Structure 1
């Protein structure tokens, strides 16, 4: 599968109170943890989506500005899908430091949307470039739910669901509050 990867780093971090990307997790900034994870996959291209080009972005990572106005991760994913040069795009959120390249590589082989129970995990998933049209359409509306969007993509057979085993559900934990860093 011809695959690109995007690190979604455009969130406002309202609950955290500061930019998540620069937060240290076990002594390493979240942005570095996540980019290292994605680099191990050796994607055809590596993108960083954010509202503004962050000072910490390595030069070899292509910056993609979130689609305006900001609608959370949907804006970043839409912008990255619009600019990707490959048939598929692996998306990974900045605040999921428990995710491993091993798990993502297994997803790579499936081209899929992880599900925990009946809840999609759209911020560590693989999207076909053709889904960009669907995301652009959602951005023109007034319902920006990633859960509803991914349900529609599954129904349209653009995403394939992969159940996440109980033993791997911890990989999808995200950091929203300072207490989550402990």
Structure 2
């Protein structure tokens, strides 16, 4: 569907550094998963929560969100594989990919980014923030044209967003505040939110 946006929220991590399920951790009275989904709803016509354990998140998902069970053999294979599974089920032209542990996400900012998608060059597979460490792959937009290269990379054993993206044309999102991209991974991070 041309011009349509779907959001994919990944909630399949082990949360080992946090010591508890990050998706369930509350920030300002709401679980982080709910906060991220609500922010995504500002610009996406549909929001899909992807997790091997998605049944335990239904109560935290805002109305209208869809659950997609991540298919795993043994343990989860990481966010890139989960994203490849999810984007294969989406018909929207653009997919907003988000981690569930972004407590400072702002729906209005996501809406502003979405408004810029029409200006992304036709050869770019994604519209992503970039930091000094590289691309920020779990808070940005991917065009459906990324699917063939993504699937090939995953089928060949690739698991790193950075290694996949280095061989792709990606349009950077300008002037993204670092605080917006803050990942809440540890109890210390949670205290800083």
Q: Alpha-carbon deviations, 1:115-134, whole Å to 9, x = none?
A: 12351010011001221222
1:78 and 2:84 are equivalent in the alignment: yes
Runs of 4+ in 1 over 3 A off after TM superposition: none
What is the alpha-carbon root mean square deviation over aligned residues? 1.8
Match of 1:175 among 171, 184, 187: 184
Aligned residues: 175
TM alignment of 1:30-179, pairs within 5 A: 30-41=32-43, 43-57=44-58, 58=61, 60-69=64-73, 70-111=76-117, 112-117=127-132, 119-154=134-169, 159-165=170-176, 168-179=177-188
Matched residues in 2 for 1:120 and 1:160: separation? Answer: 10
Structure 2 unmatched ranges of 5 or more: 118-126
Task: Give the drift of 1:28.
Answer: 1.5
Counterpart of 2:123 in structure 1 is none
Q: Alpha-carbon deviations, 1:43-90, whole Å to 9, x = none?
A: 222111111223232463222222434221112211121011211100
Structure 1 unmatched ranges of 5 or more: none
Q: Secondary structure at the match of 1:10?
A: coil
CA contact (8 A) 2:42 2:111 kept: no
TM-score, normalised to structure 2, is 0.82
